[in-house]
Amino acid sequence: MKLVNFAGLAIVLLMLSACKKETHVLEPENSLELLKDSAFYTVNGKQYVSSQIEKATTLTTQSNMKITSGVNFNYLLQGDQDSLLFTRSFTIKAKNSFMILYFIKVYNNAETEFASENNGGWLKYPKNRTDIFSPGTYRYATDFWRNNSISGIAIRIINDNGEFKSYGQSDLGKPASVTQADQRDSKFEIISIQKRKSDYLLEAKFNVTVFDDNKKVQRIEDGYLRFSVLKVLKP
């Protein structure tokens, strides 16, 4: 008859039990959480690719600006008292190309609240934070920094050929240099916005005509964007 080492057997069983308790079941990663920022577009046929998309500024200013008085272009400007222009901007960096993308919307004051994001500065934010990123087709705000009356999108790009914008010069005492007619073949479409653990993932496609100060034209085509918005920073 073989002798059984009960003490040794007990130790082995305890070790197996401990290993079982320490074993964790790995949950599969949500594929949406794994998606990284990405952008690409062509300018006059040359393609640019970027994975560097960063939040830039969030600001408010007066909306529906107009000249109220003045002689010889020494004039006063006044905007609506019951509304404001709200913008969020993002920078898109590629080799030899730097783009600033603006999301722009005119809000009635009753649609806003005085608040702060991620311990930043206080200003009037839309009560519905995702509203400005709602899926749909948007026009380009050609009077951005001028009348500030059009909700939509604005793009500014700097590349080897200079600085170009989807909107015109800001001086209300002079004729508008870029109008809606100049953007009749342009479109910006937000395809989707999806909630993640600490942010939202926005997806969009676009094309646009941009102009320098002399009305020289560049055409941006086949634009695609996927990037994080409304990120909540951990304390």
Measured between alpha carbons, how far is 109 from 76 in angstroms, rounded to an integer? 23
Residue 216 within any structural domain of the chain: yes
Q: How confident is the model at residue 76 (pLDDT cuts 50, 70, 90)?
A: confident
Span 181-211, pLDDT tens digits? 999 999 999 999 999 999 999 999 999 999 9
Measured between alpha carbons, how far is 99 from 42 in angstroms, rounded to an integer? 12
Question: 203, 225 in Cβ contact below 8 A?
Answer: yes
- Residue 21 has what pLDDT? 46
Least confident of 11-25, 87-101, 134-148, 183-197: 11-25
pLDDT for residue 3 is more than 50:
no
3-state secondary structure of 133: helix
CA 103 to chain centre: 6
Residue 150 within any structural domain of the chain: yes
Domain hosting residue 65, numbered range: 35-229
The residue ranking higher by pLDDT, 121 or 160, is 160
Please state the φ and ψ torsions of residue 109, each to the nearest 5 degrees. Answer: -55, -30
Residue 21 within any structural domain of the chain: no
Number of domains in the chain: 1
- Residue 83 has what pLDDT? 98
Max CA separation in the chain (angstroms)? 118
- Residue 23 has what pLDDT? 45
pLDDT for residue 70 is more than 80:
no
**84-108 mean pLDDT:** 98
Residue 138 within any structural domain of the chain: yes
Residue 148 within any structural domain of the chain: yes
pLDDT for residue 7 is more than 60:
no
pLDDT for residue 17 is more than 90:
no
Residue 12 within any structural domain of the chain: no
Span 166-177, pLDDT tens digits? 999 999 989 999
- Residue 98 has what pLDDT? 98
Residue 11 within any structural domain of the chain: no
Half-sphere exposure of 32 (CA within 13 A, CB side): 13
Measured between alpha carbons, how far is 70 from 4 in angstroms, rounded to an integer? 107
- Residue 121 has what pLDDT? 85
pLDDT for residue 224 is more than 90:
yes
Span 122-164, pLDDT tens digits? 999 999 999 999 999 999 999 999 999 999 999 999 999 999 9
Average pLDDT, the chain: 89
Q: Which helix (H) or strand (E) holds 8?
A: helix 6-22
Residue 16 within any structural domain of the chain: no
> What's the start-to-end Cα distance of the chain, in Å?
67
